[in-house]
């Protein structure tokens, strides 16, 4: 609501839920709950990182061969895209704390947009992989057939990036739904901490990719 001086700040707060006895308790519980969830997500991806590491130990040459045929530059661009999206998400959090609703919505949409760009680039990458016969799990000719163990690392690449992609699709969907919620009047007055808690999740998706990119595309070259 703009007043005569042109302020864009709206009231910021939290609506107390029935089971809690104070708003601080509610905020802290929500933050702790999200961190507990992120703990499980880390352990989930860790299994895949372990597979990659074991393959590196068992078949170092095959893993290097597989890595050099992955789309390094698309991966690097995607990492930059996610880092940008982390910046816009931080912007959404900052503006939500200040009560600048429209700016916040802009930041959230930008974040969703950047996440979608990542997905588009990833889809393009998969399309290129398909064209270059780098999909050994399909019953098709495989580019690196002479090195039979190389397909293991390539398959791990697909499972890892596929799972990350699923998380990103889910993340963008939830973000768009949250943006719609946040566009309703008085959202920031009652539910500001949802932006903070969601922001943690988005940063974590970025964090996982920051680990995935070197593990799959860089370290084994």
* Binders of other proteins in range 12-51 (CB under 8 A): 18-21, 25, 28-29, 31-33, 35-51
Restricting to residues 132-161, name those near other proteins by CB under 8 A.
Answer: 136-138, 148-149, 151-152, 155-156, 158-159
Which is nearer to other proteins, 123 or 214 (by Cβ)? 214
* Helix, strand or coil, per DSSP, at residue 74: helix
* Helix, strand or coil, per DSSP, at residue 136: coil
Contacts of 201 (CB under 8 A, 6+ apart): 34, 37, 38, 171, 174
Which is nearer to other proteins, 46 or 120 (by Cβ)? 46
211 binds other proteins (CB under 8 A): yes
Lookup: tokens for 137: 């799990």
Restricting to residues 65-84, name those near other proteins by CB under 8 A.
Answer: 72, 76, 79-80, 83-84
CB 91 within 8 A of CB 107: yes
d(CA 119, CA 122): 5
Restricting to residues 160-189, name those near other proteins by CB under 8 A.
Answer: 163
Interacting span for other proteins (CB under 8 A) from 5-13, 110-118, 173-181, 187-195? 5-13
d(CA 136, CA 21): 56
Which is nearer to other proteins, 69 or 97 (by Cβ)? 97
């Amino acid at each position: 609501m703009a007043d005569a001086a042109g302020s864009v700040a709206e009231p910021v707060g939290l609506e107390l839920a029935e089971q809690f006895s104070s708003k601080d308790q509610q905020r802290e519980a929500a933050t702790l709950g999200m961190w507990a969830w992120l703990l499980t997500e880390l352990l989930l991806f860790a299994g895949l990182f372990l597979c990659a590491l074991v393959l590196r130990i068992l078949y170092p040459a095959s893993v290097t061969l597989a890595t050099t045929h992955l789309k390094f530059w698309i991966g690097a661009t995607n990492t930059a895209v996610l880092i940008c999206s982390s910046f816009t998400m931080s912007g959404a959090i900052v503006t939500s704390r200040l009560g600048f609703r429209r700016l916040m919505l802009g930041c959230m949409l930008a974040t969703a947009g950047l996440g979608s760009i990542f997905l588009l680039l990833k889809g393009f990458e998969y399309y290129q992989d398909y064209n270059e016969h780098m999909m050994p799990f399909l019953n098709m000719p495989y580019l690196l057939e002479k090195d039979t163990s190389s397909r293991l690392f390539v398959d791990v690449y697909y499972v890892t990036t596929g799972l990350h992609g699923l998380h990103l699709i889910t993340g963008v969907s939830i973000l768009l739904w949250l943006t719609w919620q946040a566009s309703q009047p008085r959202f920031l007055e009652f539910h500001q901490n949802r932006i903070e808690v969601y922001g943690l999740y988005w940063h974590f998706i970025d964090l996982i990719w920051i680990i995935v990119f070197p593990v799959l595309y860089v370290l084994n070259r």
